[in-house]
Amino acid sequence: MQNKVEKERGLTLLIENLKSVHPIAKITHTSGLNGSVRLRPLSRYFEDYIEDKPLMLGYNDIRLEVINLEFINGIGKKRKFKFQGFDSIIFAKKLVGKKVFIEASSQDKINLISKGLLGYEIVTDKGEKFGYLRDVMWLPNNDAYVINYAGKEYLIPIIPEIIISIDHISNQIYIKHMDGLLD
């Protein structure tokens, strides 16, 4: 029989190893006759994940199929993405409107900007409850949480110096209390 510490450690390991699925792009239209498509990024981390993570395809995160990226052609906004097994414009048309998903571990940085966090309670390292997460904004330098508290809206930068941890079991985001940040 396991003791309490071993059970807690096992639960912590289980939580740390949980994986979640995130949309990173939406297929907007076909491009050419060979089955290539154009993608619109849905995440700031699109570039980090499109070539490095296994990809999945679907309209939502419930029913997904694994796909492989064959190649990327072009630069900037004019890039074409070719997926294996979709070799004609007829097959590519079936992809339009679907989203490209990646699977991320609970420690992955994409989890910090997930729309799944909306409604989480914000708690400072001093134990003070400071409202609820209303939105996540993508800003040029860093992303920010939009928090509603006492009839006011606050922007909290999503940086390691401020965001301590996210507890998905209790739906809470722990932040470091800093003078001027929450005033």
Within a domain: residue 128?
yes
Q: Do 21 and 102 fall within a single domain?
A: yes
Q: Do 69 and 148 fall within a single domain?
A: no
Q: Note the pLDDT of residue 18.
A: 47
Q: Do 105 and 120 fall within a single domain?
A: no
Is the per-residue pLDDT at 80 higher than 70? yes
The total domain count for the chain is: 2
Percent of the chain predicted with pLDDT > 90: 17
- List, in order, residues 6 or more apart from 175 with CB less than 8 Å away: 122, 123, 124, 125, 130, 156, 162, 163, 164
Interatomic CA distance for residues 122 and 128, integer angstroms: 8
Domain that holds residue 137: 114-175
Place of tokens 């289980």: 14
Q: Do 30 and 100 fall within a single domain?
A: yes
Strand partners, 23: 101
Q: Do 83 and 140 fall within a single domain?
A: no
pLDDT digits (tens, 9 = 90+) for 90-108: 999 999 999 988 888 767 7
Q: Do 102 and 165 fall within a single domain?
A: no
Residue from 172, 36, 13 nearest 91 by CA: 36
pLDDT confidence bin for 7, thresholds 50/70/90:
very low
Q: Which of 62, 94, 110 is the last residue of a domain?
A: 110
Q: Residue 118 has which token pair?
A: 């909306």
DSSP code string of 126-169:
TS-EEEEEEEEE--SS--EEEEEETTEEEEEE--TTTEEEEETT
Q: Do 33 and 105 fall within a single domain?
A: yes
Q: Which of 53, 76, 110 is the last residue of a domain?
A: 110
Q: Which of 70, 85, 110 is the last residue of a domain?
A: 110
Q: Mean pLDDT of all residues in the chain?
A: 81
Query: Dihedral sign, CA of 13, 14, 17, 22?
Result: negative
Other CB atoms within a 10 A radius of the CB of residue 46 amount to: 17
- CATH code assigned at 166: 2.30.30.240
Q: Note the pLDDT of residue 27.
A: 92
Q: Note the pLDDT of residue 19.
A: 64
- List, in order, residues 6 or more apart from 172 with CB less than 8 Å away: 120, 121, 122, 123, 166
Q: Do 45 and 90 fall within a single domain?
A: yes
Q: Do 40 and 79 fall within a single domain?
A: yes
pLDDT confidence bin for 126, thresholds 50/70/90:
confident
Q: Do 82 and 144 fall within a single domain?
A: no
Give 147 or 48, the one with higher predicted confidence: 147
Interatomic CA distance for residues 144 and 162, integer angstroms: 11
Is the per-residue pLDDT at 37 higher than 90? yes
Q: Do 67 and 129 fall within a single domain?
A: no
- CATH code assigned at 60: 2.40.30.60
Within a domain: residue 6?
no
